[in-house]
Structure 1
Amino acid sequence: MLYCPQKIKMSRYMSDTLLFHKTYRHPTSKDWVVFVHGAGGSSSIWFKQIKAYKQHFNLLLLDLRGHGRSNNMFQDMIKNPYTFKSVTTDIVQVLNHLKIQSAHFVGISLGTIIIRNLAELAPERVKTMVLGGAVTRLNTRSQLLVTAGNMCKHFIPYMWLYKLFAYIVMPQKTQKESRLMFVNDAKKLCQNEFKRWFKLAADVNPIMKYFKEKELPIPTLYLMGGNDYMFIKPVKEMVNKHKHSYLTEFEDCGHVCNVERPDEFNHHSIEFIQRHTLAA
């Protein structure tokens, strides 16, 4: 159902205990879509999705701990390492605050792991998953990068490392916009915050090995760029193994496909969500 622009209500919320988040409320739809960005990014990564999505759904966009406008929060946790469980619990707290019992989730890059972890911890809260530029396993090259970065993170400025990783993951000219977005957002992270999220990346393979072996009965759409050379092969393996998973591949597209190919991303993801909403 299309929306009346004048009736859309947008609100922002900040506190010392909740992630920064903003909502767009549809005048008639009861379905919520929650957007989860990747490490080093922020909710601004979804600016090419908002117009299309808010015509059909209520939207919740949030900044993960230490990112965007959540960068001054959780000071009591500053000495503690992050875990996928703790980062995921932050999102559940926002859902509880807004009294959202269940929602459709759209994620990009490392945000896709957080969504999958939320589905593991609270499957009743997740109706569908749309996982763009999904990280399902770190290949040998990316593992070497993480290891090397882990060794150098205490004496090399984190922005040098981040720019290097951004270029390696998104090397093509067509990915320049995506690289600049992530680098600019990463500038808002402090060095210690970067280290905690960097350490979290080292836990990707063990948790994703478990997720590969245990499929959840939740409709899942993977949206991947054909040039996303570091991550697309493991996704194809995952989809072949899981009967509730589907893959749409965009030609001449890299890792951050929601920025590089927004029209196709929006079309396929919205159609997927609507199809499974009607089937529910």
Structure 2
Amino acid sequence: MHALTFDWGHTNYREDGSPSGRPIIFLNSLGTDLRMWDGLIAPLSAHRLVRLDNRGHGLSARSPQTPTIDDLAKDALALADHLEIEKAVFVGCSLGGLIVQEIARIAPERVEGVVLSNTAGRIGAREGWETRIAQVRESGLAAMTDAILERWFAPEFRAHPDCAIWATEVARCDREGYIGGCEVLAATDLEADLPRIAAPTLVIAGRHDGATLPEQVLGMAARIPGARTEMIETAGHLPAIETPDLVARHITDFLKEHALV
């Protein structure tokens, strides 16, 4: 693990794979950290794999002010600068997918490819996120863990022992960091920018996703020119955790299709 220091705090990150491979930068979802991508590291090891924790998640610091989607996108771009990565394929899930969309909007020249998993141009309504924030402040995340996991994971995975690991991680997530992520989601609407995404794009949806419904994900894909769509029938909101080999195969096929290997 490494840390990149900013005026607001620090971003935790790690590198895996081949230092000479094509750079792929991963952005995590609300309530998780860079470990959500662990299952993709071995099958994608021919590439230079960079993962970071969003502000207030994992080992990254909370920012003293409420973050914006622009802040989170610029954190990732600053890390790319620090690592001397001029261009990369950006992969994001849920909140991470919104961050990738913002990167494609503000710095299209840095983006060789886009992978958007279980995300949309707008995720949920502001009122819903404000309700979630109030619930977290009142009861804490531990009291909400079961409901979160039910939205996240397909029934088959919820019966798997690994699900208990993520139950623990959700309960331990930094409360203010989680609220900061909710505030970003409440404030962000990138729907109008979807048709302007020019980089090759892969969109991944999970049939059992209870957080970003499959029809929302597919609706987003329909607005991105030339986007390739993959529906994972056995996954929910976090296919990289539930079905990592299948996600890695879809990403590999996408990279080959666009000569990004």
TM-score range, shorter chain: 0.7 to 0.9
Structure 2 Cα separation of the partners of residues 158 and 150 of structure 1: 10
Count, aligned residues: 256
Please list every run of 5 or more consecutive structure 1 residues that lacks an aligned counterpart in the other structure: 1-11
Paired residue secondary structure (2:190): helix
Aligned partner letter, 1:111: G
Please list every run of 5 or more consecutive structure 2 residues that lacks an aligned counterpart in the other structure: none
Q: Structure 2-normalised TM-score?
A: 0.87
Identity of aligned residues (%): 21
Aligned alpha-carbon RMSD (Å): 2.5
Structure 2 equivalent of residue 215 of structure 1: 196
Structure 1 Cα separation of the partners of residues 256 and 156 of structure 2: 34
Structure 1 equivalent of residue 100 of structure 2: 115
The Cα shift of 1:53 comes to 0.6
The Cα shift of 1:37 comes to 1.0
Correspondences of 1:13-162 after superposition (within 5 Å): 13-17=2-6, 18-26=10-18, 28-29=20-21, 31-54=22-45, 56-70=46-60, 73=61, 77-78=63-64, 80-138=65-123, 145-162=128-145
Task: Work out whether residues 146 and 167 of structure 2, in 8 Å CA contact, stay in contact via their aligned partners in 1.
Answer: yes
Task: Work out whether residues 107 and 130 of structure 1, in 8 Å CA contact, stay in contact via their aligned partners in 2.
Answer: yes
Higher mean C-alpha deviation, range 160-169 or range 254-263: 160-169
Q: Structure 1-normalised TM-score?
A: 0.81
Aligned partner letter, 1:234: Q
Structure 2 equivalent of residue 7 of structure 1: none
Task: Work out whether residues 167 and 179 of structure 1, in 8 Å CA contact, stay in contact via their aligned partners in 2.
Answer: no
Structure 1 Cα separation of the partners of residues 156 and 17 of structure 2: 37
CA deviation vs aligned residue, 1:82-113 (integer Å, no higher than 9, x gap): 11011111111111111100001122221111
Higher radius of gyration, 1 or 2: 1
1:200 to 172, 179, 184: 184
Structure 2 equivalent of residue 254 of structure 1: 236
The Cα shift of 1:39 comes to 1.2
